[in-house]
Structure 1
């Protein structure tokens, strides 16, 4: 059944998230009831809503055929939300998302039900708010009774004032939608950095494209619904290109942490290593392992363990330079490439990572979890001249750190003429001293 509480999984979320989702859905429901009660239905508006839903359904079906990556996916469905906002009375913005999100749930991907409902509620509330503002600014008729066939008549949208208000309200819709979703993410995962969830350049570009295409579709619909046949193919092509790019990214990304997977990291690392050998620049490799991670899984469950894994990955990423390369090596291990880092810089970086992870308190499901990491460091030309040798040396250094008591940084033991020696900067036990 659709509404079994266990399928919603809402009660496993923080209380703030539960309250936010329930409040949002309740507000949408009350507004929809009031809107249906007070809005007079017009045949032209009903036909326009049906045509937009049909166009959106074709896009959803195209997504199913191409396939979707795991995790958060960007699509161009805003292309169809914006015409609803601008062309139809506000109540339609509360109703039109329902069939399309039901179609996404059953034709594309069975997401957690409360998340799907929340996404629809966010689009509905953002659309209702923006549509209310637009129709207050432009009170004239948007869809004419004869506009469906393209007969004589002029929509209030086809004017300088109408287009200016449309741009304003399309941007307002996008901002409201983004803020509501980001608010839920911040309440669910407080450690998530704001820049990765809101205003990064790629998201801004996609939002701008969505607004522009949505405005073009709105103008075409205001002239005649038959022009949807002209707008649909370019929208499908744009959506296909966007999803294809995301599928390519997903093939390189670890689904639990969002970092590069082992294959993608190795490909990038080999390129950087070749460049370092050619130019003579230093380079270092770190292998990072979460200490006693199995105990976290056994004590609190694998879902909590996955959250700890994500939190550690996020912390590590925040502490590295933009051009450092981090990936998930497997299990609870991470691997980092530090271009341009000599031995002193590599040890300082590794020690900073170890310290920051150890200080991080992770509140998860009303419990606070702290973990430590052990780190092995290897240097190009000192411990090896290819990636395989560096990884083997860093792995040996990691074992030294584990054997020495964990929560420390170690360098490998080098050999000269078969006699074990330590590098001159390698401390007796770890980078903090014994």
Structure 2
């Protein structure tokens, strides 16, 4: 990166047109950042995956029309302003993270500029814009992902390093805006101000989506929270009553979970909850409802499932929970491996075990209690309660 920038500084002269483009992009980027500063602070505070800002909108045209060293300077100016605003705001971003983000963007700009140089000899074309945008995106994703993985390899996941589908679509959207600016800049540069309103709407709609997810999702496990789960389950009851059929309900309770918090600390306990939640999510279908009921209890509504099908799924979950190996740390920061965790699972079916959601969940809860009484680490279906309790 330094070699390319140094070579560009020596070999590529900077013209007045270059400086004009540089100043226009820098001013527009700073004005846009100031206009949406509160939105970005809120978005960053709510992000659980790599935060995607909209600087690519301005950096992508810079990669096209500026020499590499001037494109790098544009990144430094824009991220210098963002860093300053971060430190003068409520939520701070550490300087090393700002530097790392700026470095990533410089490398992405170089990748886009080099791609355009290779295939854009006949002027700016749709093909060169798309190819350069893809190069920008891939370099940004690769460097960000590798950096986040190396920071915490023991906790790294594909989503935490590479972002969600929504994150990547947002980044591609900003590059699409940047591509439109590439097409506009040589002919009508002042039309670039028209991008402000669409950008504002994009950022605001992204914030609204994050707030909706926050209101409906348990932030510790990323499953539905209790209120959202219950509301969705009530709708499923209404659907089944109207159309006929049935659904299964699981109540999953981790055995002796308090011992983990007592022995290793609540952060280790949180890692166990996250691991079990991910397992429950992976073992249920997309149209099922998986939620955190509270504490160490999880619930799952298995749409269009019979009692036998629900018991089979519950048994699979129980077995997989017992096989989990969770690498975490105790309160002193020492590595800890938690394994042999077990769960007791109660199963009920609507309408067989109750005519309302409350009745069905009461049956599943009673089945959990029966599983605890009979030795834990087992699945109990509500019709077998009397036999289990008698044994």
Where does residue 403 of structure 1 map in the other structure? 373
Residue 60 of structure 1 contacts residue 104 of structure 1 at CA under 8 Å; is this kept in 2?
Answer: no
| CA displacement at 1:351 relative to structure 2 | 0.6
Confirm or deny: 8 A CA contact 1:97 1:124 kept in the other structure. no
2:326 is aligned with 1:362: yes
- TM normalised by structure 2 equals 0.81
2:297 to 333, 350, 358: 333
User: Structure 1 residue 320 and structure 2 residue 284: aligned?
Assistant: yes
Shift of 1:336: 0.5
Deviation (angstroms), 1:251:
1.4
Q: 2:92 aligns with which of 107, 110, 115?
A: 110
Matches within 5 A, 1:31-46: 34=6, 38=10, 43-46=19-22
Q: Could you tell me the TM-score, scaled by structure 1's length?
A: 0.74
Superposed CA deviations along residues 147-167 of structure 1, whole A, max 9, x for unmatched, are xxxxxxxxx85x43xx42121
1:87 aligns with one of 50, 65, 76 = 65
Structure 1 residues 321 and 251: alpha-carbon distance in aligned structure 2, compared to 1, 3 A threshold? same
**Residue 104 of structure 2 corresponds to which residue in structure 1?**
122
2:350 counterpart (369, 380, 390): 380
Q: Which deviates the most, 302-311 or 277-286? A: 302-311
Q: 1:229 aligns with which of 168, 173, 193?
A: 193
Q: C-alpha separation between the residues in 1 aligned to 2:346 and 2:127?
A: 58
Tell which deviates more after alignment, 350-359 or 392-401: 392-401
Q: 1:191: how far off?
A: 8.1
Separation in 2, partners of 1:96, 1:40: 20
1:348/1:186 CA distance change after superposition, 3 Å: farther
| Cα distance in structure 2, aligned partners of 1:383 and 1:69 | 40
Q: Secondary structure at the match of 2:26?
A: helix
Q: Which residue of 1 aligns with 2:332?
A: none
Instruction: Give structure 1 stretches of 5+ with no counterpart.
Output: 1-27, 140-155, 413-422
**Contact 2:119–2:128, Cα closer than 8 Å, also in 1:** yes
Report the alpha carbon displacement of residue 64 of structure 1 after superposing the two structures with TM: 4.7
Aligned to 1:71: 48
Match of 1:351 among 315, 320, 326: 315
CA apart distance, 1:267: 1.3
Instruction: Please list, as runs of the form range in 1=range in 2, the aligned pairs for 1:172-191 lying within 5 A after superposition.
Output: 172-183=135-146, 188=152
Work out whether residues 192 and 314 of structure 1, in 8 Å CA contact, stay in contact via their aligned partners in 2.
no
Deviates more, 1:243-252 or 1:67-76: 67-76
Q: Does 1:58 align with 2:34?
A: yes
Superposed CA deviations along residues 143-202 of structure 1, whole A, max 9, x for unmatched, are xxxxxxxxxxxxx85x43xx4212111112112222344445666477877589769764
> In the superposition, relative to structure 1, how do residues 71 and 405 fare at CA in structure 2: closer, same or farther (>3 Å)?
same
CA contact (8 A) 2:79 2:98 kept: no
Per-residue CA deviations over 1:52-79 (Å, capped at 9, x if unaligned) read 4314423541515876534235554432
Most deviating of 246-255 and 70-79? 70-79
Change in 2 beyond 3 A, CA 1:235/1:288: same
Per the TM alignment, residue 230 of structure 1 is displaced from its structure 2 partner at its CA by 1.9
In the alignment, structure 2 segments of 5+ residues that lack a partner are 330-334
2:299 is paired with a residue whose SS is strand
1:221 Cα offset (Å): 3.0
Measure the CA separation in 1 of the matches of 2:66 and 2:9.
16
> Who is 1:98 aligned against?
79
